[in-house]
Structure 1
Amino acid sequence: MKVSIITATYNSSKTIIDTLKSLEEQTYSNIEYIIIDGASKDNTLDVIKNNCSRVSTIISEPDNGIYDALNKGINTATGDIVGFLHSDDLFAYPEAIEDIVKSMSEHNTDAVYADLQYVDKDNINSIVRYWRSGEYNINKVKDGWMPPHPTFYMKRECYQQFGLFDLKFKISADYDSLLRYLYLNNISMSYLPKVTIKMRVGGASNRDIKNIILKTTEDITALKNSQIPWFQALANKNLSKIPQFIRK
């Protein structure tokens, strides 16, 4: 199966070298690597062209934020499976994509997810949080559970059938989309109990109090869209993060 991997970039020259290196090292051969750049003003595009031989497509033009860029990537993709590798993130080991495809094939599922490590932005070997996802159950989604979105790989036909990211959301479009795929449409899922992605800390959703408030508001809207009682789900979703700081 062909795997389309999408990276959205904007002035990402300081971090994307690790992203590219981890993609370059993947042992799986049938990868379509798509870069959607928001017309970067630094040397992001030069770094990409000089450090990754596996790029299939580069689109560089202004966009309306990361979810708009990711939607462009999905619409450009031709693979059987679609996943995202953000420009602050990297694959945890060279066989990650190979294991993702194997898991989906062996379990015959629409999607797969795995575990994730948050790492220090200046030292990718220093683990800050460990998101151990655990086995999937649709009832857990109703109680606030969600898989780490950067580890989530889904068949392209599911995006075509159930829709892309809703651009009304500025921060929580990934949560809204996962609720749509998992809870409203009950896609089949397999769990890969390995850390496939390392994510640098300091994402947009937790950058300041304004973004935290916006994320909370958008999470509530996403839950209401899926007809899930929001108070308990949101409380459980936030409380579930505490063990991630303890189990590293």
Structure 2
Amino acid sequence: MSSDNKLPVVSVITVVRNDKEHIESTINSLFAQDYPNIEYIVIDGASTDGTYEILNRYRDRVDILISEPDNGIYDAMNKGVMLAKGDYVGFLNSGDEYANSKIISTIFAKLDNFADVIYGDSIEISDKGEKYIKAADFSLMEFSPVYRHGSSFTKKEIHKKYMFKVDNKKLGYSLDWDSIYSIYKDEHSFYYCKSVIEKYQQEGISSNGYMNAWYNYLITASHGKKIPKLFYYCKSIVALWVKTNK
């Protein structure tokens, strides 16, 4: 990690297990960044497919590299947050890449609004090609995520207060949204940087719109106002059904 004391230090965390096909492109995407104050942390879940051997080749360019069993992706992400020394924390998990080599410097070297959470847009990559995913209007935050977790940076001390609740099995793959929503409900500041931050691989189960809507309801309703949130959930289900049955 090089240093420019005038700029925030950004801790980027990559979580991986048995993904030798994608891990190298992910870490090279980080190494290509021209921002001087990056701390890079890689948490490997004791890979057995050759992933760790690839990571080990880059050990001298990674600030912290850990390979050990964990209790799933959110447990590994929590480990990374606890190890981070930067001012902000961001996640670039295996298979994902930054949109370009200047995106971190675009945000932290050129912006003067250092909110508690800085978020932006994404590009989804699938068999059909690339799809631009613009962050939704922030007014919808009361009911559902308006941005993808990987397309954001959160102040480290804020993130440490809102760790992923790995013991909550009811929320499945939505513990990141649970953390974000708690930050939002406690009235921390958010800033939309109007830039594409990451490209990500379309995922199987987490691309299930019906499950996403259900998890959104469980998370938001746990903070009160269940009736309007139930109405929003039902509206989302109807919209999904219409879309998939055209």
Give the TM-score normalised by structure 1.
0.82
* Counterpart secondary structure, 1:107: coil
Aligned to 1:179: 181
Change (3 A) 1:52 1:200: farther
Q: Is the 8 A contact 2:143 2:220 kept in 1?
A: no
Q: 2:224 aligns with which of 227, 234, 238?
A: 227
**What is the Cα deviation at residue 235 of structure 1?**
5.3
* Counterpart secondary structure, 2:35: coil
CA–CA distance in structure 2, aligned partners of residues 69 and 237 of structure 1: 31
State the structure with more CA Rg: 2
CA displacement, residues 77-116 of structure 1 (integer Å, 9 cap, x when unaligned): 111100100101000100111122246x511311100100
Equivalences for residues 159-238 of structure 1 within 5 A: 159-160=159-160, 162-167=161-166, 168=168, 169-182=171-184, 184-206=185-207, 215-229=212-226, 230-234=229-233
Change (3 A) 1:91 1:235: farther
Q: Is the 8 A contact 1:134 1:191 kept in 2?
A: no
Aligned CA RMSD, in angstroms, stands at 2.6
Q: Is the 8 A contact 2:116 2:189 kept in 1?
A: yes
CA–CA distance in structure 1, aligned partners of residues 187 and 224 of structure 2: 14
CA–CA distance in structure 2, aligned partners of residues 89 and 196 of structure 1: 11
**What is the Cα deviation at residue 24 of structure 1?**
0.8
**What is the Cα deviation at residue 146 of structure 1?**
2.1
**What is the Cα deviation at residue 214 of structure 1?**
5.5
* Counterpart secondary structure, 1:170: helix
Counterpart residue type for residue 231 of structure 1? L
Counterpart residue type for residue 181 of structure 1? I
Change (3 A) 1:215 1:132: closer
CA displacement, residues 183-210 of structure 1 (integer Å, 9 cap, x when unaligned): x111111111121100011244237xxx
CA–CA distance in structure 2, aligned partners of residues 157 and 21 of structure 1: 27
Change (3 A) 1:68 1:93: same
CA–CA distance in structure 1, aligned partners of residues 207 and 195 of structure 2: 25
Give the TM-score normalised by structure 2.
0.83
Which runs of 5 or more structure 1 residues have no equivalent in the other structure?
244-248
Counterpart residue type for residue 67 of structure 1? Y
Change (3 A) 1:52 1:234: farther
**What is the Cα deviation at residue 120 of structure 1?**
2.4
Q: Is the 8 A contact 2:152 2:197 kept in 1?
A: no
**Matched positions, count:** 229
